[in-house]
Amino acid sequence: MSGIAYDWIALGVAAILFVILAFLKRKKNAGFTTRVLLATAFGIILGIAFNGHTDYVGAVGSIWSNAITALVVPLLLFSIISSITNLGESMRLKSIGAKTVFFLLLNTDEVESNPLLQSVLPCRSGRVHLGKQHRHDSSHRASVT
């Protein structure tokens, strides 16, 4: 069978799994968390079974992932803003602000120093490998005739 046939079979199996999830919602009153966990398990199994032949199903997964991201990011932002505005005490707000700035600077320091240390410290063999290694072999010299 060709790769396109496997893509269509994977899409058909995914459609059947969507029908099963819809049945669980309507008839069995399965909760959202249960259905999401089952869908994740179905997705993992489908990905393993049709390794490399999930192009058509991948479009649905990308849409779902982008939709979740579009919902979670604003929710998180407004949750943080609401928490800060409901603090009330200015001393507590200063403490949280100081901790936030400290951990942000600590994180920035780690992100900057880690690559610097890795580029300066030698590797296990005792030599630093920067870029491609070129051999200077006399047998590969170009001959001029």
Asked whether 22 and 15 are in contact (CB, 8 A), the reply is: no
Average pLDDT over residues 40-67: 83
pLDDT at 75 over 70: yes
pLDDT reported for residue 20: 92
The larger pLDDT score, comparing residue 132 to residue 31, is at 31
* pLDDT confidence of residue 41: 92
pLDDT of residue 37: 92
End-to-end CA distance of the chain: 55
Output the pTM of the full model: 0.45
pLDDT at residue 49 greater than cutoff 80: yes
Distance CA 39, CA 46 (A): 10
Domain coordinates of the chain in residue numbers?
A: 3-86, 89-121
